[in-house]
Amino acid sequence: MSGVPILQRLRGRELAWPSVQVLPPVGLAVPRPPVVRMPVTAAPAPVLRIDVEVPRPAVRRFRFERAEQPLAPTPPAARAEVRAPRPPAADRPVRRARLVPPKDVVKPEEKFFYLLQPDLETILQADRLEFPRQPFPFQLDGMAFLVPRHGAVLADEMGLGKSMQAISSIRLLVRTGQGRRVLVVCPKGLVSNWTRELADWAPELVVAVIEGDPQRRRWQWSLPDVPVKVANYEVVVRDRDLVAELGLSFDLVVLDEAQRIKNRAGQTSKAVRAITRQRSWALTGTPVENSADDLVGLFEFVAPGHLSERMPPRAMGAAVADHILRRTKEKVLTDMPPRLNRDERIELTAEQRETYRRAEEEGVLRLADMGREATIQHVFELVLRLKQICNFDTATGESAKLDCLQAELEEVQASGRKALVFSQWVETLGRLEKSLARFGAIQYHGGMSTQARDQAIHRFRHDPKHSVLLLSYGAGAVGLNLQFSQYVFLFDRWWNPAIEDQAINRAHRIGAAGAVTVTRFLSVDTIEERIDEVLRKKRDLSDTILSEAGSPAASGLTVDDLFALFKLAPPARAAA
Amino acid sequence: MEQATTDGALFGFLTAVDAPGHGLFGGYLVVDARGRPVEFLCTAPLKVTRAQQILYGATLHGHLHGEQVGSTLLAESESQPLVVLTDFEPLLAVRSHTSLPVAAVKRPDEAGEAGFAVGSVRILATASDEPVVRERLAAMAAAVDLSEPFERIRLAIEEAQRMTPPARAA
């Protein structure tokens, strides 16, 4: 079709198009030409319409409540010191500590509320919150972690300033109206430490210590205009019904040395969990002391129902990751003075060795004779007896450890330094005090009144005559700031290395002026050596759970471990 | 609209983030003199087609940032800040859609000697706005680093991106 000329194709057809006529040349014989109609108007071309206008975007809008004014006016002297933020050096990026919203915040309003807060440095500057010392960046990070969280565990290694971070965070909550009623619960021996730290780090906050007779405590609990109250664990247990009767509720409850509530069935745990509260923070350097159950106990307070004891350690680690912040000195204080550890292996004196040998042989024989009747109590008593002989010969009073300690302390005293000596027995501390009188040794233990303990610390800190402080692990391992001491001696060993670490960190902490030397006395070929061996092998559990932190909070001895010290089967297996 | 007073002075921070796969997000944060957030607005992502880019040519930025993003955000806001600051120069075009003084915040290495210094940044405004901007910024400059609120807006926009599925072209 396409090859046929157009005229031939159109011949004889009537085309509907408008047309013009084309006449052929004149000639009578010529047949009439066909009429060809040609189109004169074209069909309209299709139009492509491009939407040029960019539509106005939808807008989401969030409004935030205005932050409240400070509760107390800033003293004029502090105002005068306010400076504009220091401009960053051109060659380094600005590092800002920002509030970290918890992962379980799902409402956009809440998320944006936290994200849009200024960095902490700006908040502190703008609110004229001054500190006695410039906080370390990791401490600002700790505050940025705590402030937005309702359930949080600050598990920094001892000495990194957990209480300072908590106090500064409390201060921020009080300033923003989120913390009108705060309760700090701590061990009895640390109450004065807390009031001192509160006065240092939050001088504008009014603090009440709950103490004294029941009538006085009732009045203190009821004080309406006191933003921060401090109580020890025993008071909280004793006043559990009173707190309920008064209908008290707190915006925040902070537990210091929170490992105290690891036993969920214990009265302490029940009493603190019964307190009505909005926020629950736990401070502890050892969230996992003996087993993963410790953490379950802690979380019954921090975030009830979050953990169960059947969870495998890894799952537990993942479940608590957003609630726990743990940093180690190694990680955050790269320029902190080093801690030098040395194990002083002590040979018992001949008399001591003989006493020890007899006691062990008799003890083991007795246990063997008891067979299935032997209980953990019997084993424990033997261990304690042997450990005591390692300290002092019960027959002659001789002590190879004391001889060694005296020699070491002479050097300490000569250099004008200070030393801490830890023991698990108050009786040992008493003996040491007499023997070390020339070094001005003074005691600090739970058998002393709070006032006497405070005086002991004051004398040790300020009087150059006192070179040695003798502490029990129970009272002296927690909460004290003794960073002016350069030497720590563990005269005997505790059952759990985590407690020993706490003790050591009284000296090796922020503010330490130089290297801290830690000497652990270990009697050769004795129960002390065997216990040390067991504990060395038990540092894995918390590593698994707190793998992010990377620092072990080692486990203690179990019943099985204790029986194994004397190659005895534990009771359950003996029964089988 | 909430009125600014001497005690309750407010400051606006306006920026935009072009997020690949999503489009252009506008963010507007109003803070008080201590830097605390009072109001935050952000736009849904806006994606411009190739044809729109060609047809708007050089006028696209002014239209997109000044009118569609900046002006929309300011119009939706309930706050009346003393000054609107931006760290994204195309957003200065919003000035022709608002009665508020608008100024750009620049790092010294970006601005050289232009404008005037406030803390660690330099402020660039039109000659007519500069005196009033200079006077009004004095209220907060002592406490707040003026480049810092933009970081917050970007963090919030990142969060908004996570909540928003990737956009299709408009």
pTM attached to this predicted model:
0.64
CATH code of the domain covering residue A195? 3.40.50.10810
Q: Is residue A81 part of a domain?
A: no
Q: Is A282 helix (H, G, I), strand (E, B) or coil?
A: strand
pLDDT band per the 50, 70, 90 thresholds, residue B64: confident
Q: How far apart are CA A343 and CA A518, in angstroms?
A: 8
> What percentage of chain B reaches a pLDDT higher than 90?
49
Q: How far apart are CA A118 and CA A98, in angstroms?
A: 7
Please report, for residues A91, A96, B147, the alpha-carbon distance to residue A121 in angstroms, rounded to integers and kept in the order given. Answer: 20, 7, 14
A394 shares its domain with A524 = yes
Q: Are A202 and A170 in contact (CB under 8 A)?
A: yes
Question: For A215-271, what is each residue's pLDDT tens digit?
Answer: 999 999 999 889 999 999 999 999 999 999 999 999 999 999 898 898 999 999 999
A301 shares its domain with A431 = no
Q: How far apart are CA A375 and CA A382, in angstroms?
A: 11
Nearest to B41 among A61, A87, A113 (CB): A61
Nearest to B68 among A54, A66, A111 (CB): A54
SS (H, E, C) A512-533: CCCCEEEEEEEECCCHHHHHHH
First to last CA, chain B: 31
Nearest to A62 among B32, B40, B163 (CB): B40
Spatial neighbors of B91 by CB under 8 A, at least 6 apart, are B14, B15, B16, B65, B66, B69, B70
Please report, for residues A341, A352, A427, A487, the alpha-carbon distance to residue A387 in angstroms, rounded to integers and kept in the order given. Answer: 22, 11, 13, 23
Please calculate the CA angle A331-A334-A337 and round it to the nearest 5 degrees. Answer: 120
Subunit contact A98:B155, Cβ cutoff 8 A:
yes
A216 shares its domain with A319 = yes
CA nearest A113: which of A97, A98, A128, A127? Answer: A98
Nearest to B148 among A60, A84, A119 (CB): A119
Nearest to A122 among B42, B148, B156 (CB): B148
A268 shares its domain with A371 = no
Amino acid symbol at A314: R
User: The dihedral of CA A492, A496, A500, A502: what is its sign?
Assistant: negative
Domain of B105 in residue numbering reads as 10-162
What is the number of domains present in chain A?
2
Q: How far apart are CA B92 and CA B73, in angstroms?
A: 13
Subunit contact B72:A56, Cβ cutoff 8 A:
yes
What residues of A are in contact with residue B72 (Cβ under 8 Å)?
56-57, 59
Q: What is the ipTM of this complex?
A: 0.84
Subunit contact A63:B120, Cβ cutoff 8 A:
no
- Give the tokens for residue B91: 């957003």
What is the model's pLDDT at position A243? 96
Examine the fold and report which residue of A308, A332, A356 is the final residue of a domain before the chain moves on: A332
- Give the tokens for residue A120: 């902490």
Q: How far apart are CA A204 and CA A130, in angstroms?
A: 10
Closest residue in A to B122 (Cα) is A87
What is the model's pLDDT at position A25? 55
CATH code of the domain covering residue A493? 3.40.50.300
- Give the tokens for residue B158: 């990142």
Confirm or reject contact between B117 and chain A (CB < 8 A): no
A364 shares its domain with A502 = yes
What is the model's pLDDT at position A88? 41
CB–CB contacts below 8 A, A to B? 133
Q: Are A252 and A277 in contact (CB under 8 A)?
A: yes
Instruction: Tell me the H-state helices in A395-516.
Output: 400-414, 426-435, 450-462, 473-476, 497-504
Examine the fold and report which residue of A283, A312, A332 is the final residue of a domain before the chain moves on: A332
More confident residue, B167 or A280: A280
Closest residue in A to B63 (Cα) is A54
- Give the tokens for residue A321: 């990751």
Subunit contact A67:B32, Cβ cutoff 8 A:
yes
Nearest to A125 among B52, B73, B143 (CB): B143
Confirm or reject contact between B139 and chain A (CB < 8 A): no
Give A81 to chain B, closest Cα distance, Å: 12
Examine the fold and report which residue of A332, A351, A380 is the final residue of a domain before the chain moves on: A332
What is the model's pLDDT at position B142? 67
What is the model's pLDDT at position A134? 81
Q: Is residue A52 part of a domain?
A: no
Give B68 to chain A, closest Cα distance, Å: 5
Domain of A506 in residue numbering reads as 339-575
User: The dihedral of CA A559, A560, A564, A568: what is its sign?
Assistant: positive
Subunit contact A61:B76, Cβ cutoff 8 A:
yes
Q: Are A64 and B39 in contact (CB under 8 A)?
A: yes
Q: Is residue A467 part of a domain?
A: yes
CA nearest A290: which of A566, A476, A529, A561? Answer: A561
Q: Is residue A296 part of a domain?
A: yes
Give A64 to chain B, closest Cα distance, Å: 5
Residue B137 confidence (pLDDT) above 70? yes
Subunit contact B155:A60, Cβ cutoff 8 A:
no
Confirm or reject contact between B48 and chain A (CB < 8 A): yes
A520 shares its domain with A488 = yes
**Residue A44: half-sphere exposure toward Cβ, Cα within 13 Å:** 3
Q: Is residue A469 part of a domain?
A: yes
Give B135 to chain A, closest Cα distance, Å: 17
Q: How far apart are CA B137 and CA B10, in angstroms?
A: 10
Give B127 to chain A, closest Cα distance, Å: 26
Q: What residue ranges of chain A have pLDDT lower than 50?
A: 1-2, 15, 67-93, 548-554, 573-576
Q: How far apart are CA B12 and CA B33, in angstroms?
A: 11
pLDDT band per the 50, 70, 90 thresholds, residue B50: confident
CATH code of the domain covering residue B97? 3.30.420
Q: Are A181 and A253 in contact (CB under 8 A)?
A: no
Amino acid symbol at B139: A
Q: Is residue A208 part of a domain?
A: yes
A438 shares its domain with A292 = no
Residues 61-80 of B with CB under 8 A from A: 63-64, 68-69, 72-73, 76-78
Subunit contact A52:B52, Cβ cutoff 8 A:
yes
A312 shares its domain with A245 = yes
What is the model's pLDDT at position B8? 79
A465 shares its domain with A534 = yes
Which burial class, exposed, middle or buried, applies to A289 when counting CB atoms under 10 A from its CB (0-12, 13-18, 19+)?
Answer: buried
Q: Are A235 and A256 in contact (CB under 8 A)?
A: no
What is the number of domains present in chain B?
1
Q: Is residue B34 part of a domain?
A: yes
Average of per-residue pLDDT across B12-30: 91
Q: Is A506 helix (H, G, I), strand (E, B) or coil?
A: coil
Spatial neighbors of B55 by CB under 8 A, at least 6 apart, are A50, A52
- Give the tokens for residue A217: 């405590």
Q: Is residue A43 part of a domain?
A: no
What is the model's pLDDT at position A82? 28
Q: Is residue B169 part of a domain?
A: no
Question: Which residues of A touch chain B, with CB atoms under 8 Å apart?
Answer: 50-52, 54-64, 66-67, 82, 84-85, 87-88, 90, 94, 96, 98, 108, 111-113, 115-119, 122-123, 125-127
A291 shares its domain with A364 = no
Confirm or reject contact between B90 and chain A (CB < 8 A): no
Q: Are A271 and A526 in contact (CB under 8 A)?
A: no
A571 shares its domain with A472 = yes
Please calculate the CA angle A100-A106-A107 and round it to the nearest 5 degrees. Answer: 100
Subunit contact B35:A126, Cβ cutoff 8 A:
yes
Give A87 to chain B, closest Cα distance, Å: 5
